[in-house]
Amino acid sequence: MNKVVISIFTLAIIALGGLTAYTFSPLSKKNIVPQVNPTSLTPMQGSAQVGSSTPVTLNVYHNRDMAENYYTVSVPQSWQLQPNQPAGNYDFSYADGASTVELMDVPDNSTLELYILSQDEPKLKQTTQGYQRINYQKMTVNGSEAYQLTYTSTQNGTSYKTVRTYVAGQDHAGRITLSAKLSAFGQYANTFDVVIQSFKWENGK
């Protein structure tokens, strides 16, 4: 075997080793973009009592986009799911507002509450017209630690009220943002409670 062949063979081994090391390194995992699992977009049917009204038909979504962050959430069947959302997220619209259910990455050197108060709420103050905090509280959602931020804002001269709930998880946190026109919010309050309490981590099963 001549020197040229030996050199080529050696370089090939080095390149293969480097590729293998990168593939299994944390850096490579960070560059992987999660894909939407079609199962996540196919709801099952359910129902729930909303206040004292008759039971409401629900679409029950089981999100299967990120293995360590499987979750389920239920919303009224009349809410319209918006297309082309990132993996792990749902955007819904309805007559008097819109809602988002999404996964939120919390840095390892922070806690969920610290991240909310030092990062997420300050960002809302900067990007949301007329932002005014109404309430902030700690709570639980299906046994998981959670925090809830309630605020008002304005869009195109119309006042809105929003309830944003953060649910702690093993990897990411869940963030449920439910918004409606201030004049109609009372009609949605019980429905919003049902949606929030329907959120449940499924532990990758």
What does pTM read for this prediction?
0.83
The CATH number corresponding to 39-201 among 2.40.50.140, 3.40.1000.10, 3.40.50.2300, 3.20.20.70 equals 3.40.1000.10
Residues 133-147 have pLDDT tens digits of 999 999 999 999 999
Residues 59-109 have pLDDT tens digits of 999 999 998 999 999 999 999 999 999 999 999 999 999 999 999 999 999
3-state helix, strand, coil in the chain (%, to 5): 30, 40, 30
DSSP annotation string for 145-166: EEEEEEEEEEETTEEEEEEEEE
| Number of residues that make up the chain | 205
Backbone angles phi, psi at 94, to 5 degrees: -155, 180
Q: Does pLDDT of 32 surpass 90?
A: no
User: Tokens 């939407």 identify what position?
Assistant: 36
Give 153's pLDDT tier (boundaries 50, 70, 90): very high
φ/ψ bin of 17: left (φ > 0), alpha (ψ from -120 to 50), beta (otherwise):
alpha
